[in-house]
Amino acid sequence: MSKYPEIISNLPEANINIPGVQGWIAQGINFQIIFFEIEPVGKIPHHHHGAQFGIVLEGEMFLTMNNETKKYRKGDTYYIPNGVIHQAEFHSFFRAVDFFEDSNRYTSKSE
pLDDT 10s digits, 46-67:
999 999 999 999 999 999 999 9
Give φ, ψ of 48 to 5 degrees. Answer: -150, 160
Please report, for the chain, the start and end positions of each structural domain, with discontinuous segments joined by +. 35-73
Which pLDDT belongs to residue 22?
96
Asked if 58 and 31 count as a contact pair (C-beta separation under 8 A), the reply is no
Count of CB atoms situated within 10 Å of the CB of 79: 11
Task: Give the span between the Cα atoms of 102 and 108, in whole angstroms.
Answer: 14
Which pLDDT belongs to residue 1?
62
Which pLDDT belongs to residue 2?
79
Count of CB atoms situated within 10 Å of the CB of 74: 13
Segment 33-58 mean pLDDT: 96
